[in-house]
Amino acid sequence: MRLGLPHRSERVRPSRPSRPHDASTSSDVAPSSAADRRGSRGEGASPRNPRGTRRLRVYADRTRNRGGPVPRTIVITGASDGIGAASARQLTDAGEQVVVVGRNPEKTAKVARQLGVPSHVADYSDLSQVRDLAAVLLETYPRIDVLANNAGGVFGDRAVTKDGYELTFQVNHLGGFLLTNLLLERLIESRASIVQTSSFAARGFSRFDIDDLQGENRFSATTAYGNGKLANVLFTKEINRRFGDDGLNAVAFHPGAIASGFAAASTGPWRFMYTNPLAARLLTSTEVGGARLTWLALGKPGVDWEPGQFYSNNRPSKTSRVADDPLIAQRLWDESAEMVGL
């Protein structure tokens, strides 16, 4: 597969903000409830179900015994807020070299300043920005030990991006697919883990039609989101089929129904559920959801988690029969590659 990286003249240098005196004051990454703050103290330690950064730090110490480089380079997309920002903080506390990527320049820079880590900006609704991001990452980081494809969102009425693709499908699947493939050689060299943020929506809301990936025949925001999350699982399984023997290990997970702003651009019940303060009290905090990403990023494939699987609450879980169909996964890969010009 030809990777087709952008020309060197298109590459931009990342910013490297200095470490602040106190990163714990950020509302973007702080626990959202008293119960979560109690959990963050690390009571009832269990690597299978980490709730706080102290427990995760102990778990990180154990993972360092596997002989790999310390700290490892962990790239997290969608890290300007929500579970991406929470996981970035947890992994930084665990001693890893975190690289945060976000869509919003101001919010991304704020998280990076608080954590003292490098940051990059890319809007997945514009695939040229994903290509530029890949070029910068390849130029800047000789190793990428973990790629967390966490960027995504749920939107409203059907919209088409400047690249000509349905917005939900592009942001939730095509952007991460393109970035992963552009970084593929570096990821294989690093024997990397690829962590995909999916959702139970892949099972509950998807109506996956491989012949209508753009939702042109019938569209709803809920179904489009479910289809995008199912595409994440299919992509995960196909990575392992194609590159597992080369040392790549991919895994997908459901972070929980997270109290964050990822549905701010949506309409109807999605927007109410994720932005209403009363409804948000029933949701999972970003700290807990982030810890589920962190658990996979710190874990050892084949020991702590199984490559090619879908996890919920740090345990293997099922999505749908479509997710286990290798022919659909192969076709999705091939059609996605054609869409992004690989």
Query: Which residues participate in catalysis according to the annotation?
Result: 225
Dihedral, 77, 78, 82, 84 alpha carbons, nearest 10: 0
Distance CA 127, CA 129 (A): 5
Phi then psi dihedrals of residue 315, to 5 deg: -135, 145
Angle between helical axes of 175-182 and 326-340 (0-180°, round to 10): 80
Give 138's Cβ-side CA count (13 Å radius).
Answer: 25
- The owner of tokens 């299978």 is 48
Say if CB 122 and CB 132 are below 8 A apart: yes
Using DSSP, state whether 99 is helix, strand or coil: strand
67: left (phi over 0), alpha (psi -120 to 50) or beta: left
The vertex-141 CA angle with 86 and 90, nearest 5°, equals 15
Angle between helical axes of 175-182 and 127-140 (0-180°, round to 10): 30
Distance CA 221, CA 215 (A): 10
Distance CA 282, CA 210 (A): 34
Strands annotated E in 129-214: 146-149, 193-197
Distance CA 177, CA 235 (A): 8
Distance CA 202, CA 152 (A): 13
